[in-house]
Amino acid sequence: MHRRALLISVLALSATAAYAAPKTPEAMIRAFYASYLSIKNETMEFPKPEISLKDLFVPDLYKLYQKGEEERDGDLPLLDWDVFANGQDVLMTEFSLSTEVIDATHQVVTARFKNFDTPMTVHYDFVLTGGKWRVTDVRYPGDEDAPEGFSLRGYLTQPPER
């Protein structure tokens, strides 16, 4: 009887591990965007990712992000757009990911997609901390509106004058 209980426990733990949160940075971003990619019609509702930002971000970036959602800049919150879609509305197509391994504790996952028909690139800087991969910054490359690019961390620590 004890063998049966042990076997059931081992199988239960194996099943739980199979459904545990993704472990690699690229798998985390793929899982994060799954809810975005499930949207088939234009929406102003921001998706609810399966991976929470608390689990995705390093603790200080998570706190900065929360503050950016709550802190007012006039009538709007400081973060008045979906940072992960880089837009007010969401309708993603042509999604792809690539990973650049910087070293054993730093990787950059790049998400490329079209939001509506506009090509977007979002870089996720990951660090290995406490045995877990976490995002330390979310960046966009430079464009005509922001030639220097965009850094979520930089924006939230020193927001531009409006």
SS3 per residue for 59-76 = HHHHHHHHHHHHCEECCE
**Amino acid 47: pLDDT:** 64
Within 13 Å, how many C-alpha atoms sit on residue 13's CB side? 6
Domains, in order of start, for the chain: 20-157 (3.10.450)
Query: Which residues are paired to 108 by β-bridges?
Result: 100, 125
Query: Can you give the pLDDT at residue 22?
Result: 61
Return all residues near 100 (Cβ < 8 A) that are at least 6 apart: 107, 108, 110
124, 35 contact by CB (below 8 A): no
Under the banding of pLDDT at 50, 70 and 90, the label for residue 88 is confident
Give kind and range of the element (H or E) at residue 108: strand 106-115
Between 16 and 151, the higher pLDDT residue: 151
* Number of Cβ atoms within 10 Å of the Cβ of 122: 21
On the question of pLDDT at 102 being above 60, the answer is yes
The rounded mean pLDDT for the chain is 82
**Across residues 43-51, what is the average pLDDT?**
66
Tell me, what's the pLDDT at 69? 87
